[in-house]
Every structure is written in structure tokens, then in C-alpha cells.
Amino acid sequence: MAVAKSSSFNETSKQPCNCYKVASLSETILETGQTANLKDRYILGEQLGWGQFGVIRLCSDKLTREVLACKSISKDRLVTSDDARSVKLEIEIMTRLSGHPNVVDLKAVYEDEDYVHLVMELCAGGELFHRLEKYGRFYEADARVLFRHLMQVVLYCHEIGIVHRDLKPENILLATKASSSPIKLADFGLATYIEPGKCLHGTVGSPFYIAPEVLAGGYNQAADIWSAGVILYILLSGTPPFWGKTKSRIFDAVRAADLQFPSDPWDRISDSAKNLVRGMLNTDPSQRFTALQVLGIRISALVLDRQSFMMFNHPR
């Protein structure tokens, strides 16, 4: 069974973002002439999480009663002009990707005196990271379904010149609490554009998932493939391929890239899955699989048995 063939999302299906500012603002981050106040339309609820620049809360639409999520970015924490540009870029990229079935949908953006609020769809199933914490690892057939969806959105990003730069289970959300929930890629705070044949610079990403060429100083879209390969390794085994007790030791392990497949559990995982991991974790970015190649490779010829349908329900 193939992971998939290609990205099928039509960019023309995406919706433009609705951006608003309060009328009293003289200096703004958003470039919009529309005025409105978040609290006139939405009720903010309990806190769901937090990040470098702000918090994420439940958010209820007064008109439709739809329950959403609101990421409120504190403008006080946007210390430099680069910080402000990063927020604008995140909004621009999310707007461009909105409508893709495997991307968190951005509904509207509001700016007031203290915050920039991103109103998004709520993914009730939470982070893939927490599902992994609870159950350890995935059956290969189940991992194949989830990973196919991830690679479809990665392919689409790469086709339109976007690099996510922070692929990890914490940024992959489950749309519902159902065992068969679709995934939604989230947090485009480190995402950026890249031109064909060009390189990006600067150490960006999360330690366990960062590609060796990012640490070396120059990289392109292939860095996302490395991160996705690490995610696949973790989905199948429950552990990262490159380990260290400190950030610097993790970086050393990534640079060494001594990829191993311990007998427990890898003896029970197909050769095709291991070969896929090897191709995605090739230390030479020019020889590493592309997203399109990944989607055309058979991750498993596994026949679905009764246990394979019990997705996430039992640890292994």
C-alpha cells in the first residue's frame, strides 16, 4: 500500500484571511484597513497552552457558537522588528495554506493595543506528541495513514516554496478525539519562503528533529524531510533515532547521524519502512528523498489484521 501519490489540494480553494484592528490603534503590525474588536465577536475561555510569544485559549463564536482556539501573541514580547516580521509572515503563510485539509485553518486575525489574536479551528484531539506519550508507538499500518497525511501537506508546502522548519509531534494536531482522527499541521511561527536553488541560514528548529545541514549553516526544503523522517522513526519505535541528555549532545548525535535499528522493535517492522527511514535520514540533502518520492514509496505491504484497526487503543 503506497503512502500516496501526490498533493491533491487545489490552492484556489483556500479562503482569504479576515484581518482586523481596533479603530484606536495608531501603530499596527497588521496591514489592514478593516476595524473590529475580537471581544465583540468571540468569548475567550480556558487556557490550552502557551508559547514563546503568548498563550492559546478556547474561543467561542458569539454568532455561530462554534468553539475555536485563539492564539494571543503579546506585542510586549515582540522586542525587535524581526519579531514583528515573523508574526506577519506566520499569518501570511497560514492564510496561504488555509483550506488544506491537513493544515490548521486560520479563521481571522485581530490586533488590539496589547495582542495580535489568531483565531483558528480547534483540534480537540490535542498534540500527536501526547498520543505518543500515552501509547508509546503506532502499529505500522496506522503510522502509514498518519504519515501519508503529513507528507501530503509537506509536499504542498514545498511545491509553493514554503519550508516549515519545525516539524515535530508537538506541532501535529489531531482534529478530533477519535482513534481515526485526521491530522492538522500547526505552528508556522518558524516557517518561511525559499526560492528554487537557494539556501537558508541560521540554526532554526527543535533539537531532536533538526537536520545536520541546519547545524552546519546552510539548508533548503530537504531539512523538512529529515525532520519528517525522525517523526516516522518515532512513530514506529517510540524513541528518537538520535539521542542526548543535553541540547549540545543531541546536536552531536545528529551530526554523527549513526542511524541504528535495534532489534526491539525494529525486527517486527518491515524492511520497506526501514528503507524509507534511511532514505529520509540520508545525511546528504541532495540524495535525501523528496516529499514526492516519499509519497510514491511503499511504506508497508502489511496486511491489516484485527489489531491494526484498533488505532491508538493499546500500547505495544
Those residues whose C-beta lies under 8 Å from the C-beta of residue 249, and which sit 6 or more positions away, are none
Whether 166 is a known active-site residue: answer: yes
* CA angle, 51 then 171 then 113, to 5°: 35
Sole residue written with cell 494536531 = 173
CA angle 50, 56, 59 (to 5 degrees): 165
Distance of CA 272 to the CA centre of its chain: 25
Whole-angstrom distance, CA of residue 133 vs CA of residue 217: 32
Q: Determine contact, residues 76/114, Cβ cutoff 8 Å.
A: yes
Task: Give the Å distances, CA to CA, from 159 to 14, 177, 221.
Answer: 15, 31, 10
Catalytic residue among 105, 112, 142, 166: 166
Measured CA to CA, the distance from residue 47 to residue 52 in angstroms comes to 15
71 is in an annotated binding site: yes
Q: Do residues 183 and 124 lie in contact, with contact meaning Cβ atoms separated by under 8 Å?
A: no
C-alpha cell at 26: 495608531
Amino acid letter, residue 119: V
Annotated binding site: 71
Binding site for ATP, by residue number, is: 71
Q: Mind telling me the catalytic residues? A: 166
